[in-house]
Structure formats: C-alpha cells, structure tokens
C-alpha cells in the first residue's frame, strides 16, 4: 500500500493521514520493519532480518499508534493510545 521511512525521532509521521480517516479502508494491515538493513548499517548483528506487525483497523477508532521497541535480539509491540 505504501512505503515510509522513520524520521530522526524514530517515528513515521502519518502513514494514513488523519484528515482522511473517513476514507480509510478498514481491515487488516501489516507493517514490515527491515531490521537487518538498519542494524547492518550500524555494524550490529541481529537475529531478526525483519519484523512484521499485523493489526486491524476498525471504524470505531480514528487514531492508531503502533509502537515497536526493538533490540538486535528481540522486539515488543502493542496498540498505543
């Protein structure tokens, strides 16, 4: 659907702009983080070459925050507020 890159603060701005919330396609989405590319560029070995996070957009929610915390050998994600 699209491709974005993280900003200096480690975030992606608006993947799906808020003002277009009523036009969003609700359903299941997947974010794919290419962690090996990142860690290789910093000369760090990693166990996970990429991380995929699947989630579902519903009509009752207009704002989504999907944080990911990662290290070379683990990661955690949750639905933020």
* pLDDT band at residue 24 using 50, 70 and 90 as cut-offs: low
Architecture of domain 24-77: Sandwich (2.60)
Do residues 57 and 41 make contact, with C-beta atoms less than 8 angstroms apart? Answer: no
Task: Report the alpha-carbon distance of residue 53 to residue 30 in Å, rounded.
Answer: 5
Supply the DSSP string of 17-75, one letter for each residue: -GGGGGG---EEEEEEE-HHHHHHHTT---S-S-EEEEEEE-TT----B--EEEETTEE
Among candidate residues 19, 8, 29, the one with its CA nearest the CA of residue 62: 19
Q: Any idea where the domains of the chain sit in the sequence?
A: 24-77
Over residues 52-77, the pLDDT tens digits come to: 999 988 877 767 788 899 999 999 99
Quote the pTM value: 0.73
């Amino acid at each position: 659907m699209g491709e974005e890159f993280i900003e200096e603060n480690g975030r992606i701005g608006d993947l799906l702009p808020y003002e277009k919330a009523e036009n969003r396609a609700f359903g299941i989405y997947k974010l794919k983080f290419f962690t090996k590319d990142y860690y290789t560029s910093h000369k760090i070995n990693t166990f996970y070459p990429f991380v995929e996070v699947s989630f579902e957009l519903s009509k009752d929610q207009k704002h989504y925050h999907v944080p990911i915390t990662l290290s070379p050998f683990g990661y955690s994600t949750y639905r933020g507020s």
